[in-house]
């Protein structure tokens, strides 16, 4: 018998991806400090936070055996880690700084078996190149229409955000939304969870 599956995230975007996978799961918000430590590189940061989120959820479940998914994402441009903009002004500023550049998204994914304490962590990169001819009016209109204020990088690739891009590269487009499903399903199969079985 497989253990219950728990998504350790408050993200509506991650829940939407999980729903498309036809998996039965519960949601528990991890509530952790997501600050970078010392000279932590983006890949290290998302890997550590994904695992910390899974471990925090395990503690909240008080030892109830579960398979817990933790995930974290950052966007990086010009060597700077970018957060969620929070306001329209910051989203516009962030998007203007991307014109003609490639933004790298790193998504950390952790799958923790709380019964065995086994935790597998993977880091998935994804690269988005922005058009070099985006106008300020296009950016303002995009932010007005989609309100990507809770998205790292200030855009939603699953919506109109693609109108800002000239190229996308990576193994799994869901990585951009914060939950790389190819890697996730591979990790879940090793725990006996397969939506096709």
Q: Is residue 31 among the annotated active site residues?
A: no
Catalytic residue among 72, 137, 172, 186: 72
Strand partners, 69: 7, 111
Q: What is the dihedral of CA 104, 160, 87, 33, to 10 degrees?
A: -40
Residue 130 tokens read as: 């922005």
Strand partners, 105: 75, 126
Query: Which residue in this structure is represented by tokens 């003609």?
Result: 100
- Quote the crossing angle between the two packed helices 88-98 and 136-146, to the nearest 10°: 130
**What's the number of CA atoms in the CB half-sphere (13 Å) around residue 140?**
3
Residue 117 tokens read as: 């304490």
Q: Is 152 exposed, middle or buried (0-12, 13-18, 19+ CB in 10 A)?
A: buried
Active site residues per annotation: 72
């Amino acid at each position: 018998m497989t253990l219950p599956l728990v998504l350790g995230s408050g993200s509506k975007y991650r829940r939407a991806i999980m729903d498309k996978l036809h998996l039965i799961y519960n949601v528990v918000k991890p509530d952790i400090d997501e600050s970078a430590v010392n000279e932590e590189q983006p890949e290290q940061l998302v890997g550590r936070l994904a695992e910390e989120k899974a471990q925090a959820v395990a503690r909240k479940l008080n030892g109830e055996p579960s398979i817990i998914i933790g995930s974290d994402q950052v966007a990086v441009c010009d060597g700077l880690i970018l957060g969620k903009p929070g306001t329209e002004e910051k989203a516009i500023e962030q998007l203007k700084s991307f014109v003609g550049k490639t933004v790298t998204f790193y998504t950390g994914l952790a799958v923790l078996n709380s019964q065995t304490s086994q935790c597998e962590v993977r880091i998935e990169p994804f690269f988005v190149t922005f058009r070099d001819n985006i106008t300020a009016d296009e950016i303002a209109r995009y932010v007005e229409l989609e309100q990507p204020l809770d998205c790292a990088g200030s855009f939603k690739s699953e919506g109109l955000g693609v109108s800002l891009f000239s190229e996308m590269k990576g193994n799994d487009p869901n990585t951009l939304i914060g939950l790389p499903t190819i890697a996730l399903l591979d990790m879940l199969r090793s725990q006996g969870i397969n939506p096709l079985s």
